[in-house]
Structure 1
């Protein structure tokens, strides 16, 4: 029974430590898995797993290993941030795999990337003909970035000389799950609670009626109510 409670406490402690370490290492480790990040994630996971349930190892030894490896990972992240040469060694560098519709087979071999995988990555970007590709680059996180040839790119408003009405602002969330997000209101004094209350009164709404409210990039207030009034909603399993 004593071992049972020890495993529970160690598991909770491992979870808290990994959360703290993940925050210290930054969002990049979570969102972009470079060589460095991959090694860090795998090793920290293994140490944390032993920390949680392997009672044969001394707790302080595992804690020392976890903290020491985290310190090394943090140091390498700091070094790669400051030095471009070090960054290439620690995280690797992007590799061009297609140039002017020509597949660079030698680079594919270096990356251990097959033509089947390359074609799959292109199809996921709605590219079925390699002749459309000007450049294709395999990024540090393993994703493929593609620059199409000019004649295959989508037309944008600038190409059509259509002027936009003005600069779009970042959306401001105002209400979530029926609760006002006061922090966002404080950051935007031009809004404020009085303004929000007036807008709700105009629509004959109360906080209890609202699931989500946001001031969009176009400056308009969008409100999603709990009552959707949809007679036959789509129910996806």
Structure 2
């Protein structure tokens, strides 16, 4: 009977500890599972299970291991936020698997992804004809995002004022975490001087910009570190 109550107490304590760790790691970790999040979740789950019912092991030993792995997961998350280079290594990066309507077989082989898997993902997005796809990207969380070809996009009211025949392009990330992404500039034929002139024209500086992207319609979007929003919305 004493062992029964010990398991009961340890189970409640393990659940409470995991709730605290999950709260510290934040909502993004739960919704956007990346490489290190996946490893951390499996390890923490196994340790919590042992903490709950493995009475042959010391409670404090498992507790130390549990808190250590939770701390490692939190540290990696912080490092990923601080450095784009570390973020690419820790969390990985999105992979283009279709470009200009063509399947990139080499990228699919690297991802160990089959055509059946690709077609399944497209069907889940109500795309039964692969000819409708202009770009497809495998995101960090393992989900595929799709940009349809222009002729297959739904018509919006504002589209009626656009010129017909405008070629659609993929959005280009120009600045991330206050640093210019030189590789993206070179690959898309964008001059660095032009970007700097656009930044200066808007009264910004590179260090003040958190994120900048050239959208599919050619417009520039800038997001500053200081958003000047007094009251942010955060629904629990």
TM-score under structure 1 normalisation? 0.67
The match for 2:102 is 102
Give CA-to-partner distance per residue, 1:150-178, whole Å, 9 cap, x none.
111001121135xxxxxxxxxxxxxxxxx
The match for 1:50 is 50
Matched, 1:4 2:4: yes
Give CA-to-partner distance per residue, 1:18-68, whole Å, 9 cap, x none.
000000001112111111110011010000000001001100000000001
Alpha-carbon deviation of 1:130?
1.7
- Give structure 1 regions of 4+ aligned residues with deviation exceeding 3 angstroms: none
Q: Distance in 2 between matches of 1:160 and 1:16?
A: 55
Q: Distance in 2 between matches of 1:42 and 1:160?
A: 50
Unaligned 5+ residue runs, structure 1? 162-186, 188-237
Give CA-to-partner distance per residue, 1:2-24, whole Å, 9 cap, x none.
11000000000000000000000
The match for 1:41 is 41
The match for 2:224 is none
What does 1:1-237 align with in structure 2 at a 5 Å threshold?
1-160=1-160
Alpha-carbon deviation of 1:106?
0.9
Aligned pairs, number: 162
Q: Distance in 2 between matches of 1:124 and 1:31?
A: 18
Q: Distance in 2 between matches of 1:124 and 1:75?
A: 35
Question: Of the two, which has the highest radius of gyration?
Answer: 1
The match for 1:216 is none
Give CA-to-partner distance per residue, 1:43-102, whole Å, 9 cap, x none.
100000000010011000000000011111100000000100000000000000011111
Q: Distance in 2 between matches of 1:56 and 1:104?
A: 52
TM-score under structure 2 normalisation? 0.67
